[in-house]
Amino acid sequence: MRVFSHTCSNTEIVCALGAGSCLVGVDADSDYPPDLVSALPKPGRDLDLDTSMVADLAPDLVLTSLTVPGHERIVAELEALGLRTITIDPLSLEDVYASIATIAAALGIEQRGADLIAQMRDQMPPVAAGTQRPRIAVEWWPKPVIVPARQSWVSDLIELAGGCNPWADAEAKSVTVDHTEVARQADAVVMSWCGVPLEKYRADVVLRRQEARHWPALVHGRVHAISEAYLGRPGPRLVHGYAELRKIISTF
């Protein structure tokens, strides 16, 4: 089967299932695993995909996504070209597992999907929290501050790791919040800025906010960085995000 993958998470799922050889192309943001994707055709970034070039690759299946605002347009263009698509749109961690099962079934490797899901569950056990769970603010973006809400697998990861998401009651994928709200709500801040390489995360961007000196997180020096590839891509590498969250939460 010839497969085109639109979005990093789908690419990583296909490769983790041992089906990387099926890929005939990926979006330009798909960078992992490098040994499997570096030489593949890349007809543009996920929000600027040249869908006619995708069609020229003659895929039997296009794995696409609605995880980023604006993907809807790309999905519509792919469908208008008559391409067979499967659209992934996970909200919860259970949805992520279901996405893996869906992709595995489409590739005819259901058991590999079940095995991968079982491995991920084993590597992300629920941690028995103390009487108080530390409040973890994961920042998707620093200005304005955008954080994951209830309809995000990140809320589930935080809870599994023994913490809580202060915005878990907001029925949305993410919400924009004021700096003062972060100051009031967070025991620790995690920078996981979308589309920014880990080496370019800068704690001083958080620390220099006017009210930063009053933050519980700052009083105790709890500003951390976790690669967005480990939290923002709903696929197999969420296990690394969980492990990093667990390290942070275990310090309380």
- Contact criterion met (CB below 8 Å) for 178 and 229: no
Q: Give the E-state strand segments of 132-227 in sequence order.
A: 136-139, 141-142, 145-148, 174-177, 188-191, 223-225
- Domain contains 119: yes
Does any domain span residue 131?
Answer: no
Note whether residue 153 is domain-resident: yes
- The label of the residue with tokens 């620790």 reads 188
User: Does one domain contain both 105 and 145?
Assistant: no
Share of the chain above pLDDT 70, in %: 96
pLDDT band at 213; cut points 50, 70, 90: low
Q: Which of 123, 147, 177 is the last residue of a domain?
A: 123
**Amino acid of residue 192:** S
Residues 9, 117 within the same domain = yes
pTM equals 0.94
Whether 165 is in a domain gets the answer: yes
Q: Which two tokens stand for residue 242?
A: 């969980």
- Taking only the tens place, the pLDDT of each residue in 79-119 is 999 999 999 999 999 999 999 999 999 999 999 999 999 99
- Dmax over CA atoms of the chain, in Å, equals 57
Report the percent of the chain where pLDDT is more than 90.
Answer: 83
Q: Do the beta carbons of residue 249 and residue 134 sit within 8 Å?
A: yes
Q: Per residue in 223-242, pLDDT tens?
A: 999 999 999 999 999 999 99
Q: Pick from 123, 152, 182: which residue ends a domain?
A: 123
Distance, CA of 120 to CA of 134 (rounded, Å): 24
Cα-flanking dihedrals φ and ψ of residue 110, to 5°?
-55, -40
Considering the domain architecture, whether residues 95 and 193 belong to the same structural domain is answered as: no
Q: Which domain holds residue 168?
A: 136-249
Question: Which structure tokens are listed for 72?
Answer: 């809807």
Residue 197 within a domain: yes
